[in-house]
Amino acid sequence: MNYKHLHYFWTVLRAGGIVRASEQLHLTPQTLSGQIKLLEERVGQPLLRKVGRGVEPTEAGRLVMRYADDIFALGASLQEALASGRDARRTTVLRVGIADSVPKAVAFHVLEPAMALPEPPRLACHEGGLTGLLAELAVHRLDLIVSDVPAPVSLSVRVYTHLLGRSGVAFFAAPRLLKAAGLTAQRARKAFPACLASMPMLLPSTPTALRPRIDAWLSQHGLAPVVAAEFDDSALLKAFGREGQGVFAAPAVLADEIAQQYQVQWLGTPDDLLEEFYAISVERRITHPAVAAITAAARGKLFATRAG
């Protein structure tokens, strides 16, 4: 195999198209296309297909891309080892996109099993909106996306959504907030969920997956608490909750951790309010060892029971 041709193919997918890659490689698009055609002839099957005005990898192209990632990462490690005089650790890189609506603690616990592997990958985590992350996944700049919603069915690129698990949604309040409402934690739990109506509430912003579920649940139970604030960032929401600015909701699988970290009281976890978490990849059947470890641990341990 001609590794120069492989590098051209790898650069096209990383750059997001032949035109951008040709600019980076200082080649004409026609020359670059011809070089990739030679690679396809060598492997005996097409590696790219046209999608609109761009290209995406075929199934064979995805396989070649995974190997190319390792090959060129190893080449970079070799250069680093030669420059430093130290043998760089041969470590694969797992590039993960984390939807910005996913709580950071959930993302950590989802990814943690990959770091416990005998040969753990080097994690490269990127946070952002799901649409942008899916675009990165489609051109193999990411290996995996952790999300609280599945990939849209209308998506033009081929990706696969794998359910990691479901968690109950727990409600928390700071001691000072309970005191201001004339409640103790014990009394609030006995009166849950009616107690929520007597305290202000901190909610995730409208575009998040959890917000419409909370709104529907509150309406179903005839609750209309005063909304004190809305947040895109779940960590900032919890920080406000710690200071007694309002009741807040969070995944029940993290209930003990949240209560300890933010010094808040657990009020209750309704049976009819759930949150879901997903892994989105380009693989229908997961074969990447680190991704397989992540999905197995999430289903078998983290989300095995709906805590609360």
Do 36 and 23 touch, CB atoms closer than 8 A?
no
Residue 178 CA, distance from chain mean position: 34
- Ordered per-residue pLDDT tens for the chain, 308 residues: 788 999 999 999 888 889 989 999 999 999 999 999 999 999 999 999 888 777 888 888 888 988 888 788 778 777 777 777 766 555 678 999 999 889 999 999 999 999 999 888 889 999 988 988 998 898 888 999 999 999 988 777 788 999 999 999 999 999 999 999 999 999 999 999 999 999 999 999 987 889 999 999 999 999 999 999 999 888 899 999 999 999 999 999 999 999 999 999 999 999 999 999 999 998 888 888 899 999 999 999 999 754 44
In angstroms, the CA 177 to CA 91 distance is 48
Q: Residue 308: name the closest of 272, 255, 267 by CA.
A: 255
In angstroms, the CA 230 to CA 186 distance is 27
Do 78 and 89 touch, CB atoms closer than 8 A?
no
pLDDT tens digits, residue range 251-262? 999 999 999 999
Confidence (pLDDT) at 90: 52
What are the residues whose beta carbons fall under 8 Å from the beta carbon of 284, sequence distance 6 or more? 160
What tokens appear for 212 in the block? 């419409």
In angstroms, the CA 194 to CA 192 distance is 5
Backbone φ, ψ for residue 145 (5° rounding): -125, 135
In angstroms, the CA 53 to CA 99 distance is 27
This prediction has a pTM of 0.70
Do 155 and 134 touch, CB atoms closer than 8 A?
yes
What are the residues whose beta carbons fall under 8 Å from the beta carbon of 293, sequence distance 6 or more? 113, 114, 116, 117
Confidence (pLDDT) at 181: 96
Confidence (pLDDT) at 306: 45
In angstroms, the CA 221 to CA 189 distance is 16
Confidence (pLDDT) at 308: 40
